[in-house]
Chains A and B, each alone.
Chain A
């Protein structure tokens, strides 16, 4: 592990007790984020990507049980921390941006109070310093007349502005890691690119690690240094953005890419590729490949046993029984068809 590593997670699992049994929301997930690096976690609803972020933040619901072999932030072991000690890290070393900017800010307090509060809570300075920091950051996120905005209430701002406030708020204490959970999903398309641009330039400037969680392959392709594709609570493919998009090795990744119409690439009016079948409910004992019911390349071997991640090169891995050769041949033929 290099000294650049901000977050390291090994074999993280999250089990949630539900009436029907135990829900394995996340299984054996490992990841690593470096300073200034963007890791995109991509997957469809219910794949466990948001639970992963809450697990790292230690904000899981009460009924969820977290297990992991390793969970460190800037070389600090998070697994042994008490809730009180963990709280001192949140907002200070890790910041989080949520999906819906309309509901993520407290409606009864001024924006300024909500920004300054983090700074003061973590002992960075007094009211005056906090105000200066807030004004500085508001300017950085491109807000004109920051002093005025700070004395406003959330309902007086548009969605795009509120999301910028959220970004500013996470940067108040200069965090080592930012987790953004679908930060632009609730925004208009024209706001999306601007907000992402802002997020990325600030992340680079502050040299923070960024975990960006999204279902939008377009966002992933444009934002990610490295990508982790999740399906059914597991990582099914990891690699750099180029590797994953140009040469997907897991049938699910390939399927996802084929599903979306791309201007200039898919023929208008043509049939889109599609993934049949349903997402498994992750309750009870899970055995074999979770994607087998929707996969064109399924064999008997896929139905049982523990299917592990196969590593192709450093940081490049996939969870499938097809050999890299096979997957290359089969998937690329299909992609071309």
Chain B
């Protein structure tokens, strides 16, 4: 740049009426702090996470230890038979129900998290590519999404599980296959909106590579949406895993999956309703708090920039 150039210091002094506008990260922090749903949901999720991680330390018993002399002990608040030895009672094989529930949290969270994450990566890539390139590429991706939508997901998942078995890895992969389309649909349409922005054209006019534009310019603007869907899909993945296990086609006994606990408790539910209520409510509260957190993230990251 030539030296003779006049430097302009037009706006260097702060104007009397200037008010500090928070930056997007600051804005998010502020909104997060004042968002009740996000805080409550997030805390409950953290609680479940802590229980899952520290289950080996926290759980009073080994979840697989059977004690046939203490079968179907009701929870502690049952005045007649409840004891503090088994605060949540025992199941039909005398296993401590609290311990089994705690270890169940591990399985739910692990499968939910990884299924959501794997499908997020796959689905978002597909969606952004379709949205950015348009034309034939996009037509092909729309076709893929249409095929996925047409298949009855749960049924295909059930058949796949029955073929490949209910190992945790298989479940994660099969669930990922079930969920990628939502990411693809949303990231595709958001990318289409972003693609027409002038900052993309500016980057193209610099000779920026397409990969760099997608990762550097598009992705940061789609990330919110991906995280929001991921949280909601994680919740759905947890329910579907439980459903598969409930039907006997997911995690195999004696692994303490919540869905499996429900299905095992089902035969006793008329007399011992706690056997279905504990795992049922555990799923319900975990899912509802993840949903609250997801809705919170959506509100917190609401698109800013445009006034």
Q: How far apart sit A293 and B11, CA to CA, in the bound complex (Å)? A: 12
Check B10 against A281 for contact (C-beta < 8 Å). no
Is A261 among interface residues, defined by CB-CB distance under 8 A? Answer: no
Which residues of B1-59 have CB atoms within 8 Å of chain A's CB atoms? 10-11, 15-19
**B residues neighboring A (CB under 8 Å):** 10-11, 15-19
Q: How far apart sit A272 and B294, CA to CA, in the bound complex (Å)? A: 51
Is A1 among interface residues, defined by CB-CB distance under 8 A? Answer: no
Nearest to B16 among chain A residues (CB) is A293
Check B19 against A277 for contact (C-beta < 8 Å). no
Q: How far apart sit A293 and B18, CA to CA, in the bound complex (Å)? A: 10
Check A278 against B17 for contact (C-beta < 8 Å). yes
Nearest to A282 among chain B residues (CB) is B17
Q: How far apart sit A292 and B19, CA to CA, in the bound complex (Å)? A: 16
Min CB–CB distance A61 → chain B (angstroms): 15
Majority-rule SS of B interface residues: loop
Nearest first, the 5 A-B pairs at minimum CB distance are A280-B17, A293-B16, A278-B15, A293-B17, A277-B15
Check A281 against B15 for contact (C-beta < 8 Å). no
16 A-B pairs, CB-CB below 8 angstroms? A276-B10, A276-B11, A277-B15, A277-B17, A278-B15, A278-B17, A278-B18, A279-B17, A280-B17, A281-B17, A281-B19, A283-B19, A292-B16, A293-B15, A293-B16, A293-B17
Residues on A with beta carbons closer than 8 Å to the beta carbon of B18: 278
**A residues neighboring B (CB under 8 Å):** 276-281, 283, 292-293
Q: How far apart sit A293 and B14, CA to CA, in the bound complex (Å)? A: 10
Residues on B with beta carbons closer than 8 Å to the beta carbon of A278: 15, 17-18
Residues on B with beta carbons closer than 8 Å to the beta carbon of A281: 17, 19
Residues on B with beta carbons closer than 8 Å to the beta carbon of A280: 17
Q: How far apart sit A231 and B235, CA to CA, in the bound complex (Å)? A: 51
Min CB–CB distance B93 → chain A (angstroms): 57
Nearest to B31 among chain A residues (CB) is A19
Residues on B with beta carbons closer than 8 Å to the beta carbon of A292: 16
Residues on A with beta carbons closer than 8 Å to the beta carbon of B17: 277-281, 293
Most chain A CB within 10 A, of B16, B17, B18, is at B17
Min CB–CB distance B59 → chain A (angstroms): 46
Residues on B with beta carbons closer than 8 Å to the beta carbon of A293: 15-17
Q: How far apart sit A279 and B17, CA to CA, in the bound complex (Å)? A: 7
Nearest to B30 among chain A residues (CB) is A19
Q: How far apart sit A285 and B15, CA to CA, in the bound complex (Å)? A: 17
Q: How far apart sit A283 and B17, CA to CA, in the bound complex (Å)? A: 11
Residues on A with beta carbons closer than 8 Å to the beta carbon of B19: 281, 283
Q: How far apart sit A278 and B18, CA to CA, in the bound complex (Å)? A: 7
Nearest to B21 among chain A residues (CB) is A281
Min CB–CB distance A156 → chain B (angstroms): 24
Q: How far apart sit A280 and B15, CA to CA, in the bound complex (Å)? A: 9
